[in-house]
Structure 1
Amino acid sequence: MVPYAEVPARIKEALLLSQRVEASGIALKKQGREWVGLCPFHDEKTPSFSVNDAKGVYLCRGCGAKGDVINFHASMLSITPGDAIKALAKECGITIEPPQKGQARQRPATPQPRTSWSDSTLKSIAQAASELFVSYGHTSEEFAQVIADRSITTLSVHAYALGFYPVSAPFVEDLAQSPRLSGLSIDQVRAGCRELGLVHRHNDTSPFEGRLIFPITNTGGEVVAFSGRSLDDAQRPKYRNSPESQIFDKSTILYGLAPIKAAVSESPELRHFWQRLVRQDTLYLVEGYTDVIALAQRGLFAVAAMGTGLSQRQARLALRHARHVICLYDGDAAGRKAMTRSLLALFPLLDDAHRLYGLSLPDGDDPDSFLGNVTGDPASTLQTLPRTQPESVWWRHHVGTISRPPALCDQVLIERAWAAQDSYPSTPLWRQVLARRIQHVAGYRVRDPHHLVDLPPWYRSHNAGISPAIDDPALLLWLARFRADPDTMMPLVSAMLPRWWVSDLLHGRLQEGVPEGSTLLFAASWCLKGQDIDNWRQCMALLLEQGFPAHWLKSWLDVRNPVTGDLAPDHQTLRFEWEAWVGSLDETLTNRLLHAVASADCAAETADAS
């Protein structure tokens, strides 16, 4: 066993640094007593990374990275030097001697505590960085050439705050001059930049230098991250992206969904540009940032998931901002796979008002290149492309090709797909039409058609299309009380759902004997059963999700008749008054039913006697 303090020296003796570097995929060439190659820690075209085996150290004259074989291993794998020592010791067959009891292991230095950042400070640094990138974009010939080559308009450059940063410039020093950061020292700015991935670990240069820079905003329009695209195809990697941080979680953000609030607030032209986009009810999901901008220049609202698969939170975000969502990915194998994944992610989240499908671009085209050849209305032209419907993708993914009539194994596949209720929309109507689709495609009826059980009873009634009259004074009071305190009213109304006349009322079979608008109370209770409700706004959203007719809700909201009575009595009084009202209705209707039954019996006896 080797004492821990001696392990680093043993590792350096056992491992040749140049061989370790080459084993990491970095090509080295001998120059005198040193080996030279491209630095793995920053982008460069001219080699500035050198390795000296005699001294056992490396140095990059471009970004300042330096160290020994342990530092190199730690930096390449983004692990601590301590973890690197353990990994390399194991690789070299060195067994580390555990510290003696009561003897603390000596450490070369006490680790510094991580700086605690407020979100507002990090967002200020990110916003200042965005403004710095934009300012350099205004003066850069490289930036101007790329913008011209990609046919990006000046308005789009400003609307999306596109920027640039020159190679090897002192980023931290530049950024520290921003008035937004006047309350921070340069060391605090540097630490904040490292937290956000704006500078390299070893020096003050930025990984975004020499790139077309896209700022990324959260839904509130605050800059939280960046992506930098290479200016030519030879530059690698093609994209540099901010790491996830305290203020940036890429699974919750869609690029292009919200403008930079600080820029839009100062420009009426940019305000108009964004208002024209975000007010649209159609949203295109695309792959790349430039695709988002290309569609926006043609008046179409588009967002991108930043090169990752569409997460559930991103899918919910897209569907919350538009009723009509179209997947428009590149016309290659990767694009088609991305479309399939996105449609499968979006499909279970649809409600009855959404429309979703994919459009297939020709092979080799992306949205930007395809629209570049369009002279007419871009939206109309896109609608001529072949469509991919989400239910078809769902069927192919979960079932696939089957025989007709379906064999037993086919039936098992269908039943398994139908049992995966989280893979398709949960609304009663969607379940009904999907079951009908399965029967049409496969000639097979799925078991336990719970889509019929869950279908609201009024969907089968002609009365569902009629807005009921709301003019009874007592009903007006109870509708107002339900709006004022739905959480308290729900148990009272729900207790009446098992009554025969309430069922007849919801099915449209009861035409008289109750105030016409009382259907709203019991239908609302049917929709909200089992739900926790805090307020009327939440109540309205849940009602619409569960199939409560929108025109019924509008009639409820449009009531302008004066309400007589206390809207918020104590619970005991509320229960007493409710039971008195519905009890009176129950007694009247039950007596009427018994009278009708008695009359029918009497008529039958008279007929038999004659």
Structure 2
Amino acid sequence: MLTPQWLDQLRSRVTLSALIGRSTRLQKAGREYKACCPFHNEKSPSFTVNDEKGFYHCFGCGAHGDAIRWMTDHQGLPFMDAVKELAAEAGMDVPAPDPKAARIAEKRDTLHDVMAAAQDWFKASLVGPEGGQARAYLATRGFDAHTLERFGFGYAPEGRQALKEALSRFPEVMLIEAGLRIAVEERDPYDRFRGRLMLPIEDARGRVIAFGGRILAAGKTDAPKYLNSPDTPLFDKGRTLYNLHRAAPAARQSGRMIVVEGYMDVIALAAAGIPDAVAPLGTALTEHQIEMLWRHVETPILCFDGDAAGQRAAMRAISRALPLLRPAHSLRIVRLPEGLDPDDLIKARGPRALEQLLGEAKSLVEVLWEFERDATPLVTPEDKAGLKARLMAHVDTIQHPDIASLYRRALQDRYSEFAFPRREKTWQSRGAAGFQPRQARPGSSRFGPASFSAPSSPESITRLNTRYGQASGSRDALSAAVIAGLIRWPCLLPRHAEALARTPGLDPRFEILVECCGDTAALESDALTTILRDNGLDEPTVAEYAGLRFGFLIQGTEQEQAAAELAQAVDLLVERPVLEAALAQATARFESELSEAAFAEQQRLLKRKLEFDSRLRQMATRHAS
């Protein structure tokens, strides 16, 4: 007899990628392999093979299984022939089946047949004498008959052997393999689902591959409220989204897909006329599920409960999404009122209230900022430094360099505005130039030892030049190039003023340019040069940024291209002091502690510094002839 233990041993001896690789070209992708699906025509790979789990899965058509299923579904072999062929290769002897098992094998019942039969039995039990408690519970949810039929509600009666007796035409090994029965050592197997309201979980083709059951007996405090099927050759909970086969067509019409916490939330939304919702199955949203969502919409909406658990679930999903982010693909997040789930909100305020919240979904970067800002009290400088460290740790997980740079800048801007509130400014008119920076008390400058004002004598200019010379380390080629770019393209100055104003230790000429943004007169290159000169400062010469071939410095560059490259250069300029300060701090810590953790942190930041330098070189030589 083929016991579950024997079949597991057979699967463990088969390297699935080697088996599938004989007829399908596989490409290594991290811990998995990927390929164009052999079960349906496609141009981009959506078929994955995982040797650790022993499963293959297609995100496009839903094909899923193990080595045995590959031999039956792809190679077209009967179940026993597939087992014998794999066993021969693995050097295992196949136990002789009894006559009854042989006759069953000849009928070629599959696990899909088992699951379909179980679903029919659960549905019949719901309307039978034993289903009264389940029907009473459904009446409290307010679902109409159409919703009950559409989602296939059923009932699993009490009794450890009830399902086995109802599905007696299937061998016990198949019921166990399908996750419907539980096998334990030295005890008889028993039914997994007992006394529960049942819901079928279906694949992308609408076939039943698993079940979810909600307990009905209030006294069973030791039993889980919701119980799902275990992973089987048909079902991998980390690669399955509940209701995807219904939500995907609806999403093509609405242009959105909503992710809620559980399948009862999905059904509540569908009953309220919102059909484009899916749910993970008892786990946090996985990387595979995020990729599945992105195959249908570019920015799915997470709609989790407003309680602490719901927000933790949202953050777990965000943490898993950050390394995967790519252009135009992200997440948006809705936070429901505290204490309400989607069903509660719909019942209390109607579907329109939920639709309004969905329309106000926040961006991933905004939710990331708010979550970390509100995570702990921010009273001391150390508290605020901890906030910045947590934000940058999130940014470090983003693999796409452009997105990482944009996130770093966006979060640094929010942090600077929070930690260093900007003071009110007063503006004065100034003769032909039409502008004069504000007079400020010594020591109040954001960029150097003191604020800037128009020098009134040669002695004043000498003092300014002496003071600015102390910051000559900041007056490097990148700073000079950005200043020259802002003077060449004065219309682009306002969009970068805030970021530059909040960045410490920059070339003093930046403060003069930033102050110009408060003037009502139109910014012009000649006026900016004049203002710099009136403050004892010169326009950068070509020699200051020799070797840097930025597009915004080249004659004839289109404004759109200049704006894009100038934005990238400013990002680097803003990022650099933060990175250098963190590296200096980590180096000092390592030199004082000589600990492994301090060394690892220093090495991580050194790697970031090398990556930064590489990005700068690539940008600066992009237009080299």
Q: TM-score, normalised by structure 2?
A: 0.44
Which of 1 and 2 has greater Rg? Answer: 1
Q: TM-score, normalised by structure 1?
A: 0.45
